[in-house]
Each structure stands twice: as C-alpha cells, then as structure tokens.
Amino acid sequence: MGVTTLTAATTPKSKPTAAALSPARTKLCLALLVLLGFSLGCSEFVVIGIESDLATELGISLATAGQLISVFALVYAIATPVLALSTGRFRRYQLLVCYSVVFVLGNLVMALAPNFQVLFISRIVLGSVSGALLAVGVTYIPELLSPQQTSLAISVVYGAFSVAMVFVTSIGKFVADTLDWHVAMYGTLTFAVLICSALVAFMPRAGQTDEPATFREQAGLLREPSIITGMLIFLFGVGSVYVFYGYVTPYLEQVLGMDTVQASTTLMAYGVFCLISNILGGWIDARFGMKALLVTFVLQAAALLGLFAVGAAMPLALVFVFSLAMLMYLFSVSCITHFMDVARSRHPKSMVLASSVEPMAFNVGISFGTAVGGAVVSSIGIAYVGAVGAAFSLVAWALTLVTIKLARWERKRARA
C-alpha cells in the first residue's frame, strides 16, 4: 500500500482523515490528545503520593513500594519501542483502539488490587501499553496542525503529562489520607475510561502514518549515534530528578517536616512549575535548540546540590524544590525535536518509532533514578538524594555536548 494523498473532501463511505476534519473536530481531537497525556500521567504517577500508605497497608518497605514506579517505567521503556517496531503494518486507528482497551483494563486491575502482587502486575500491564498509546497519539499532531504549531502542541501534550504527575501525587495523597488509597485509583480509572472512549469515537480513522513499515525500515533510526546519546541524556537527565522526585512525598514529610495539607499544597505548586517548564521547553527549543541544554543541566545540578546543602532549612529548601520543577522538563522538547528531525531526514518511515523514543528514554530515566533513589534512601538516607542527583545532571550535560557534535557530523555526512 502506497502513501495515500489526502484531500479536503471525502465520500460518504470514506473514513475521516485528519486533513478532512472540520476546525471544531480538529480542536476536539487536539484537546483529547492533551487529556490523554494527562490521563497517562495520572495512571503512571498515582502511586507516588500514596507510597507511605501502600507501604503501611500492604506490609512492605518504602523502597519496595518504590518498585511500583520503577517497574512501570522499565516495562514502559522496553515495550514502547518493541511495539512500535512490531506493529508497523497495522493501521494507526486500530492500534489506538487496542491500546486504549488494554490501558483501561490495566487501570481497572490497579484500582481493584487486593495485595501488592496484583498491584505489581497491574503496573506491568499499564507500563506495557502507555508509551505506545502516547506515541500513536502524538503522530496525529503534525497532521492536525501546521509545522509552526506542531512543536508547541507536542509540548502541551507532554506538559499535561507532567502536570498530571504532580496533580495526582498531591490529590492522591490527600484522598488516601482522608478516604482510602483505592479511591485515588478509582479516579484514574474513571478518567481513563472517559478519555479513551472519546478518542475511539472522535479521532480520524486514517492518515499519513498509515503507510506500512517493516522492522528494518524503522530500526535504522536506533543505530544513529546522536539518537543513542540523546536517549542517554534522558537516562541521566531524568534520572537525576527522580533520585529526588521518586521519593518526594516522604522527603517533604521526613526531611522538611510537612503535614499532609502542606505536602499536598507543595506538590500542587510543583505541578504548576512543571507546566511552565514544559511550555518554556518548547519556546527555548524554537530559539536555541539543544545548545540551551548546556545551561539547563548546570542549573539543574545546582538546584539539586542546593537541596542537599540546605537540608531542612525552610523556606530556602522550597526555593530549590521549585527551581528543580522549573528545570525539570526544559530539555524534553529539544530532544523530541532532535529525534523526529533525524527520522524525518534519514528514516522517514520511522516517525512512530521516533515519537516512541522520548517516552521510552524518559521512563528508563525514571526507572533508573527511582532505583538509585531507593538505594540512597535505604543506605545513606533520604537527605542525600540531592547530591546524587546533581552528579547525574553533570553527566547529562556532558552527553548533551556529545550529542550536539554528533548531530553536526551526521548532517555533514548526509550532505556529502
């Protein structure tokens, strides 16, 4: 099957495409993609705010509860590219429906989990499909918008994911402390059902990315040196933050001495700064590209080191906490743009895979950072997470420099 030429007109029996949608339907589809990002974030991060409750009720350690975060992220990171590579011959809408069903079922099992083992399995199910669902959703954006608007739209979708991360952490904690931790998961389940149902009902049935692609045609993207180093930026850049953020609730309570209301309020404010960080990331990328990350990671290291240095000193500690939130996602859009630019120029049939690289690499970073954070918490103590995170930020800085130089070399090689 060749590339389908899209026109503004459709016959009564034709399937609606992105190019044929009315302005109102286009806006609705974009809104649903943003809400999808929010729903995915809620399902992934709902356990962060209730880690202490889970540990107490299920009779496990805090570090074991942290495995619910790291296993989701690890499975997410492995399954996302595998699904992208192995489902290239299927139509995008078919994948959207399939992934949506599995996503809802995973949320159902998580909400009803009677013990840690079932809860752990539900996290594996959710992790296996969430990245693929987001990747398929993101591929609609270039068809719904002009090239000038695409970067901002992508940053908003990922911004919704980031806001959900902190929103559900704070609200989940409050709900768990006042009602029950299952109630927080019922909320994420309800939202997932509503959004996935709307996506299946309103998203276009066909589009440019329906062109089939073989494993080999897509896999070449992952052999590009600057793609490999770009993924490593996420490993250490995201990992540096999650050494701290994977245990942010006990940090706020045990190190800073906050009660439930104070911790929830702090996490809500953190979420606002994360949204700003995502939007700024798009703006910075449009003007400076990846060069800006050489400044971003130095500032991120300084914020994490400052968090370690001030200890429990308030309100100075909050200055560094919120500074970290502002820096947390500044590098994401630049890396996403890099991945998709490489795919567009040298591997045009790997666009779905390219959109999968960011969530894959991001969640490898989450898994890595949370696992390291758990080791720090269990050994030298939670007060040291900032110092370890700062060291990882500096590694990310070095990898950024390497990626920039490799990208220049690859462009010269392509022109030769």
Residues 61 and 66: their CA atoms lie apart, in Å, by 9
The first and second tokens of residue 347, run together, are 């591997």
User: What is the reported pLDDT for 8?
Assistant: 33
Q: Is the pLDDT of residue 336 over 70?
A: yes
User: What is the reported pLDDT for 21?
Assistant: 67
Q: Is the pLDDT of residue 192 over 80?
A: yes
Per-residue burial over 148-187, b if 16 or more Cβ lie within 10 Å, else e, is eebbbbbbbbbbbbbbbbbbbbbbbbbbbbeeebbebbbb
Residues 246 and 51: their CA atoms lie apart, in Å, by 10
Mean pLDDT of 51-56: 79
Q: Select the more confidently predicted residue: 152 or 15.
A: 152
User: What is the reported pLDDT for 11?
Assistant: 36
pLDDT band at 71 (very low <50, low <70, confident <90, very high): confident
Residues 404 and 334: their CA atoms lie apart, in Å, by 11
Determine the 3-state secondary structure of 135 from DSSP. helix
Q: Is the pLDDT of residue 326 over 50?
A: yes
Domains of the chain: 22-410 (1.20.1250.20)
Per-residue burial over 260-269, b if 16 or more Cβ lie within 10 Å, else e, is beebbebbbb
Please say whether the dihedral angle defined by the alpha carbons of residues 221, 222, 224 and 229, taken in this order, is positive or negative. Answer: positive
Q: What mean pLDDT is reported for the chain?
A: 81
- State residue 325 phi and psi, 5-degree precision: -60, -40
The model's pLDDT over 106-148, given as tens digits with 9 standing for 90+, comes to 999 998 888 888 989 999 999 889 988 988 888 788 778 776 6
Most confident of 147-161, 260-274, 380-394: 380-394
CA 396, 304, 234: angle at the middle one, nearest 5?
25
User: What is the reported pLDDT for 6?
Assistant: 30
Tokens 């052999």: give the residue: 223
Distances (CA, A) of 194 to 108, 157, 364: 13, 17, 28
Determine the 3-state secondary structure of 88 from DSSP. coil
Cβ(182)–Cβ(111) below 8 Å:
yes
The candidate with the shortest Cα–Cα distance to 356, out of 160, 212, 221, 214, is 221
In single-letter form, the type of residue at position 200 comes to V
